[in-house]
Amino acid sequence: MKTPENTLVNVQNLRKYFPLKMGFFKTLLMKESPYVHAVDGVSFNIEKEEIFGLVGESGCGKTTTGRLILRLLEPTEGNVRFGSIDVTAISNEEELRKLRRHMQIIFQDPYESLNPRMSVYDIVSEPLNLQKITQNPDEIRKRVEDILEDLELTPPEEYLYRFPHELSGGQRQRIAIARAFVLRPQFLVADEPVSMLDASIRSEVLQLLLGLVKKHHSSFLYITHDIALARHICNRVGVMYLGKMVEQGPAEDVILKPLHPYTEALIAAVPVPDPTARRGEVIIRGEVPSAVNPPSGCRFHTRCPYAWDLCQKEEPKLIEIQENRLVACHKFKA
Amino acid sequence: MAILDVQNLKMYFETLRGHVQAVDDISFKMNKGDALGLAGESGCGKTSAALTILRLLPWNGSVVGGGVFFDGVNILEMSPEKFRDEFRWKRISVIFQGAMNALHPTMRIGTQISEPIISHEGVTKEEAYNRAARLLDLVGIGASRIDRFPHELSGGMKQRTVTAMALACNPELVVADEPITALDVIVAAQVMRVMAELQKKLNLSMVFISHDLSMLAETCNKIAIMYAGKIVELGDVVAIYKEPLHPYTERLIGAFPSVIGEKKELAAIRGFPPDLLHPPSGCRFHPRCPYAMPLCKSIEPSLIETDNSGHSVACHLVKA
């Protein structure tokens, strides 16, 4: 399975530092300007037709990673390969646009990601026009109707000329999904696509989304803070903490037998919809430190119950300790 | 005797397009020390129900029928002044959703916590400040942070500050409206643990309002499931999660993923929650219910008790 031919997206040592905005006098006083280390050396692969989950708390850099892969943000360092193409090396707009036909994104908030002045038809057909897939109006209409039908917005005629404000949250998110899938992309990034939706609607939207991923044989990067949901959706997951990947492996293994103390704590903190179940104690205290001055050594050492002096000095590398299971912790030796 | 007894409560919002039946004939009882989870999706009326109990309704919301009996007294019938002087903060208090916005940004947290103590109990500033310090210790922030401003605190600490504020005048009943929605998982777990400990320690009665059934499963001993302004199922937490009787409850619980046990397929409920301006006839869930019968369209099921433990359900499929 793990062959280079099977890899669709390859992320190597990706970094993104955002400069911190400061007042004029502060900039004079500081020797070097401070940066937010949003993503700090992240590497992973996404195989063909694989659903990879990026999990972590807010501020861990999962959203930034997703945007860097699509080059919606310029990386500070590192590179991203999509098939045989080096995404980070593309310098002209036109080529980037061609590439985006194959890589699409679904945003978190369907109340903000849809233009309120555009009708459903305009929203969903826009990518087709931008990518100049076809000039034939009948064909465009056919493709828009088909994708709406796939998302069970039926009959499509009833939705085509509505505006976002006439739709419910669940319907809006389906439009956002339709807009991404109308190009039949090979790779899709979804940033918390259902976190704004109610539980009863969430599962249906997810099922439709996963149905489309399967139908088009797409690879899928699913970004979420909800590790319980990631378990249900993803083949593999990567857990991020303060800009670093701390653990990676098959979803079921990572969630049932976490290796990294942070993953363990994260899973212990997730409430379980069963009043008779006893979950583990939350073993860590405090909150995530600032990404401007991240802790030395292992970034988790300030909150880790197992930390010893080595953790403060030396940063652990992400190593494979079992087949397909990677972890960055001094507790484990390769 | 029940500390809180809500009887046939109806609260409608008046809008230009008509009456929104936000809370429509709900009844439930709470005993001292109970933690009741009021669960449901957005727009089901759970927050409206809480605002009615707290007498904090916006201008266009009005109680159309029923009563809220707190310790035997109907608090909806007394004058606003009497409610303010004798009940608010002192006996019933509230923890609002989104602690970030509930705190005054330019006041030190100690001052903010002392404010209700001074105005409700007429104590001196120093005494109120000392009590605020004790409260901050109680919620695990530490009295040393009493002179901090809200922006100096993290999200979890702000939420705990708001919790401390709700406890300022030793209330008997605390209503928490989505207390942890804005927080990250680990911080949320820490805050929930503090609340659960306080509830036991102070023998508080608490109403938790949330859409998150996983969180309620861990904190409450009683659950009321609301749908479209009605309570559709009510009972002991274990009974609700283990033997749900209403098709909506069953599916809603099934829609929540779990990190333990076997991986199950997530349940989906087709369709969308109804518009409360024109709720569906009969059982309000019938357009989305997989078991709907012709009867469900025409006749509204009433909430009936199924056994002696107080497990009640409003569904035609269940016979008393």
Which of A161, A182, A203 represents a domain boundary (last residue)?
A182
With 70 as the cut, is the pLDDT of residue B223 above it?
yes
In a domain, A236, yes or no: yes
In a domain, A220, yes or no: yes
In a domain, A107, yes or no: no
Task: Please report the pLDDT score of residue B3 as a whole number.
Answer: 93
Residue A258 near residue A264 (C-beta atoms within 8 A): yes
Write down the mean pLDDT value for chain A. Answer: 91
Q: Tell me how many domains chain A contains.
A: 2
Task: Please report the pLDDT score of residue A291 as a whole number.
Answer: 87
With 70 as the cut, is the pLDDT of residue B320 above it?
no
Task: Please report the pLDDT score of residue B87 as a whole number.
Answer: 93
ipTM: 0.86
Residue A251 — very low, low, confident or very high, per pLDDT cuts 50/70/90? very high
Residues A310 and A235 in one domain: yes
Task: Please report the pLDDT score of residue A26 as a whole number.
Answer: 74
Residues A178 and A206 in one domain: no
With 70 as the cut, is the pLDDT of residue A279 above it?
no
Nearest to A144 by CA among A171, A125, A163: A125
Q: In what order do the strands lie in the sheet with B173-177?
A: B92-95, B173-177, B205-210, B35-39, B222-227, B230-236, B312-313, B304-305
With 80 as the cut, is the pLDDT of residue B267 above it?
yes
CB-CB neighbors (< 8 A) of B156 in chain A: 287
Residues A161 and A137 in one domain: yes
With 80 as the cut, is the pLDDT of residue A22 above it?
no
Residues A96 and A139 in one domain: no
CA distance A31 to chain B (A): 25
Residues A289 and A233 in one domain: yes
CB-CB under 8 Å, A171 with B184: no
Helical spans, DSSP H, in chain A: 24-29, 62-69, 93-100, 120-130, 137-150, 157-160, 169-181, 199-215, 227-233, 251-256, 261-269, 309-313
Residues A146 and A211 in one domain: no
CA distance B261 to chain A (A): 9
Tell how strand B18-30 and strand B35-39 pair up: unpaired
CA distance A63 to A243: 10
Q: Name the residue range of residue A79's domain.
A: 4-102+186-327
Closest-CA residue in chain B for A58? B184
Task: Please report the pLDDT score of residue B263 as a whole number.
Answer: 85
State the average pLDDT over residues B69-79. Answer: 94
User: Whole-prediction pTM value?
Assistant: 0.89
Residue A2 near residue A48 (C-beta atoms within 8 A): no
Q: Any chain A CB within 8 A of the CB of B193?
A: yes
Which range is least confidently modeled, A7-11, B246-250, B308-312? B308-312
Task: Please report the pLDDT score of residue A4 as a whole number.
Answer: 66
Residues A129 and A260 in one domain: no
Place of tokens 């849809």: A114
Task: Please report the pLDDT score of residue B72 as a whole number.
Answer: 92
With 90 as the cut, is the pLDDT of residue A213 above it?
yes
CB-CB under 8 Å, A287 with B252: no
Closest-CA residue in chain A for B186? A269
Q: Is pLDDT larger for residue B271 or for residue B249?
A: B249
Task: Please report the pLDDT score of residue A1 as a whole number.
Answer: 44
Question: In this predicted model, what pLDDT tens digit does every residue of B2-32 receive, in sequence order?
Answer: 899 999 999 999 999 999 999 999 999 999 9
CB-CB neighbors (< 8 A) of B259 in chain A: 227-228, 231, 255, 267, 270, 272
Q: Which candidate in B44, B160, B185, B216 is best for mutational testing of the A interface (most A CBs within 10 A)?
A: B185
Residues A211 and A130 in one domain: no
Residue A245 near residue A62 (C-beta atoms within 8 A): no
CB-CB under 8 Å, A201 with B269: yes
CA distance B162 to B176: 10
In a domain, A108, yes or no: no
State the average pLDDT over residues A16-41. Answer: 83
Which of A182, A203, A236 represents a domain boundary (last residue)?
A182
Closest-CA residue in chain B for A287? B187
Closest-CA residue in chain A for B263? A232
State the average pLDDT over residues B87-107. Answer: 88
Report the CATH number at residue A309: 3.40.50.300
In chain A, the largest separation of any two C-alpha atoms, in whole Å, equals 68
Question: In this predicted model, what pLDDT tens digit does every residue of A153-212 receive, in sequence order?
Answer: 989 999 999 999 999 888 999 999 999 999 999 999 999 999 888 888 899 999 999 999
Question: In this predicted model, what pLDDT tens digit does every residue of A40-74 receive, in sequence order?
Answer: 999 999 999 999 999 999 889 999 999 999 999 99
Residues A242 and A305 in one domain: yes
Pick from A200, A226, A274: CB nearest B252: A200
Using an 8 Å CB-CB cutoff, list residues of chain A that contact chain B. Answer: 57-58, 168, 170-171, 198-204, 206-207, 225-229, 231-232, 252, 255-256, 265-277, 279, 282, 284-285, 287-288
Distances (CA, A) of A68 to B117, B179, B309: 51, 34, 56
With 80 as the cut, is the pLDDT of residue B52 above it?
yes
CB-CB under 8 Å, B193 with A228: no
CA distance A300 to chain B (A): 14
Task: Give the HSE-up count for residue B227: Cα atoms under 13 Å, Cβ half-sphere.
Answer: 29
CA distance A245 to B62: 53
CB-CB neighbors (< 8 A) of B214 in chain A: 228, 270-273
Fold of B33-57+78-91+171-313: Rossmann fold (3.40.50)
Pick from B237, B253, B259: CB nearest A270: B259
Q: Any chain A CB within 8 A of the CB of B260?
A: yes
Residue B240 — very low, low, confident or very high, per pLDDT cuts 50/70/90? very high
SS3 call for A97: helix
Q: Which candidate in B178, B183, B259, B262 is best for mutational testing of the A interface (most A CBs within 10 A)?
A: B259
Residues A321 and A173 in one domain: no
Question: In this predicted model, what pLDDT tens digit does every residue of A99-157 receive, in sequence order?
Answer: 999 999 999 888 889 999 999 999 999 999 999 888 899 999 999 999 999 999 989 99
Residues A228 and A281 in one domain: yes
Residues A167 and A42 in one domain: no
Q: Which residues contact A283 (CB under 8 A, 6 or more apart)?
A: A261, A264, A265, A268, A305
In a domain, A334, yes or no: no
CB-CB neighbors (< 8 A) of B187 in chain A: 287
CA distance A19 to A15: 13
Residue A280 — very low, low, confident or very high, per pLDDT cuts 50/70/90? low
Distances (CA, A) of A167 to A94, A114, B9, B268: 34, 11, 31, 19
Q: Which residues contact A224 (CB under 8 A, 6 or more apart)?
A: A53, A54, A55, A62, A192, A195, A230
Which of A129, A156, A182 represents a domain boundary (last residue)?
A182
10 Å Cβ neighbour count for A118?
Answer: 14
Q: Is pLDDT larger for residue A30 or for residue A318?
A: A318
Task: Please report the pLDDT score of residue A139 as a whole number.
Answer: 94
Closest-CA residue in chain A for B154? A287
10 Å Cβ neighbour count for A280?
Answer: 12
CB-CB under 8 Å, A269 with B186: yes
Q: Domain coordinates of chain B in residue numbers?
A: 33-57+78-91+171-313
Task: Please report the pLDDT score of residue A65 as a whole number.
Answer: 96
Task: Reduce the secondary structure of chain B to three states and give it as a string.
Answer: CCCEEEEEEEEEEEECCEEEEEEEEEEEEECCCCEEEEECCCCCCHHHHHHHHHCCCCCCEEEEEEEEEECCEECCCCCHHHHHHHCECCCEEEECCCHHHHCCCCCCHHHHHHHHHHHHHCCCHHHHHHHHHHHHHHCCCCHHHCCCCHHHCCHHHHHHHHHHHHCCCCCCEEEEECCCCCCCHHHHHHHHHHHHHHHHHCCCEEEEEECCHHHHHHHCCEEEEEECCEEEEEEEHHHHHHCCCCHHHHHHHHCCCCCCCCCCCCCCCCCCCCCCCCCCCCCCCHHHCCCCCHHHHHCCCCCEECCCCCCEECCCCCCC
In a domain, A312, yes or no: yes
Place of tokens 């890899």: A7
